Amino acid sequence: MSKLHVKKGDTVLVLSGNDKGKQGKILRVDVKNNRAIVEGVRIISKHTRPNAEHPQGGIIKQEAPIHISNLMVVDKNGKPSRIGRKRDENGKLVRYSKKTGEIIK
C-alpha cells in the first residue's frame, strides 16, 4: 500500500463532483478503498429504523465517503496545494506544501 496525501484532521478542497469547491475537515480515512469522509461534503439522506441511537427512526442526513483523488489539501494560508514528502533535519519523513514549501503537520 502506498501513502496517501491526506490524513484525518486535514482541511481539504473538493475538486470535482456535486460539492466541487467546498472545503471541509477530514473526519475519517478508509485506506483500503482510498476514500475519506469530509465534514459537510457529499451529504446523503439515510432512512433508518428506530434504534437506541435514534428512537424515532426516520431520515437522517450524513456524510458519505468521497474518493481521495477528488481532494486537495489546503495549507495554513488557505491555499490549496499539492503535497510532497521530504526528510526534515532529524531525518523524519514529513509532508510539505509544494506551493509554499511549508511543512504540513
Q: In this predicted model, what pLDDT tens digit does every residue of 63-77 receive, in sequence order?
A: 999 999 999 999 988
Quick check: 4 and 31 in contact, CB under 8 A?
yes
Counting residues of the chain whose pLDDT is more than 70, the rounded percentage is: 99
Residue 15 confidence (pLDDT): 97
Residue 66 confidence (pLDDT): 97
Whether the per-residue pLDDT at 60 is higher than 90: the answer is: yes
Residue 105 confidence (pLDDT): 81
Cα distance from N-terminal residue to C-terminal residue, the chain: 22
The residues near 73 (Cβ < 8 Å, ≥ 6 apart) are: 5, 6, 10, 11, 12, 13, 80, 81, 83, 97, 104
Q: State the chain's mean pLDDT as an integer.
A: 94
CATH number for the domain whose boundaries are 11-74 = 2.30.30.30
Counting residues of the chain whose pLDDT is more than 90, the rounded percentage is: 92
CA distance 20 to 52: 35
Give the residue among 86, 75, 102, 83 at the shortest CA–CA distance from 94.
86
DSSP string, 12-76: EEE-SSTTTT-EEEEEEEETTTTEEEETTSSEEEEEE---SS-TT-EEEEEE--EEGGGEEEB-T
Q: In this predicted model, what pLDDT tens digit does every residue of 2-11 receive, in sequence order?
A: 789 999 999 9
C-alpha cell read off for 18: 456535486
Residue 45 confidence (pLDDT): 97
